[in-house]
Amino acid sequence: MSLLRYFVGVLYVPTMLVGFIGAAVHMIEKEKNYSALFGLLVTAILVSFLLERWIPYQKDWNKNHGDVMRDFLHFVVNEVSNIVAVLSLPVFVALVPIDGIWPDAWPLWAQLFLAILIADMGITLVHYASHKNATLWRFHAIHHSVKRMYGFNGLMKHPLHQIIEVLGGTFPLILLGVSQEVAALLALSVAVQLLLQHSNVNVKIGPLRYFLALSPVHRFHHVKRAAEGDVNFGLFTTIWDRVLGTAVFDLEKRFSSVDLGIETEPDYPQDYFAQLVKPFRRIDPEIL
């Protein structure tokens, strides 16, 4: 690997997290420009695609596995639902019968950081429960049916499971009276983090692996054997995995498509609409 590619691998994560999210905070703080957030997300996806092809973790994961249109449809549906949720937030906050105690006087970046920590706890616990509860797993299994990991399919989720995760992450924030500005920034932050979790960029994260749930950490979660893959549930951080005793990392471990998927359902449907109806069909109890 050339020196330039090495440094790009080192700088990729800080650029995505600090660069894009920092730019989003600036846009909301100075201009209240919500529409620009979508443009930032699209730019982040394009950067992800470009660097995945320049410095890939697995070259084969850059090839179309017949999943591009499916992943695009998941992206559109789930991001539209996120936009609707953000726009609806003032209504939900107004319905709370108690005055919120959200620290509105804090700088916007500090409010976002607090929101990320709170949402990370709720989403991580929902994620953990989705591997332990058979009904939740039916809807979450879609996310584990991937046979390659690249940034875009981090956004691949069943819409109903997406709603459950969003509720798990945002309900405490609604009770606290979080603002629409912070909620919009949180939605963008989640999308950027999902890009990073599934990234096929050969990143160098060093000691960040002890704190952040990035792709070298998250790949362990997608091992197709449940006994090995029921680890590293965190969305943003590894904090709650350390509490749950599910934090795992091995610097020497390498992954390929052979390691991914669902061992008990090797023929899980890959078509978008087939995936939507799959959780509602009867399944053999032996695969649970």
Which region holds residue 98: left if phi is over 0, alpha if psi is between -120 and 50, else beta? beta
Which residue in the block uniquely carries the two structure tokens 């893959």?
A: 229
3-state secondary structure of 99: coil
* Cβ burial, residue 164 (10 Å; 0-12/13-18/19+): buried
Digitized pLDDT (tens) for each residue of the chain, 288 residues in all: 588 888 989 999 999 999 999 999 999 998 888 888 989 999 999 999 999 999 999 999 999 989 999 999 999 998 888 778 777 776 777 777 667 789 999 999 999 999 999 999 999 999 999 999 999 999 999 999 999 999 988 888 999 999 999 999 999 999 899 988 999 999 999 999 999 999 999 999 999 999 999 999 999 999 999 889 999 999 999 999 999 999 999 988 999 999 999 999 999 999 999 999 999 986 544 444
Structure tokens at 276: 């939507």
pTM for the full predicted model: 0.91
Which region holds residue 32: left if phi is over 0, alpha if psi is between -120 and 50, else beta? left
**DSSP string across 243-287:** HHT-----TT----GGGBS-TT-TT---SHHHHHHGGGS---GGG
Dihedral angle over CA of 112, 117, 119, 124, nearest 10: 150
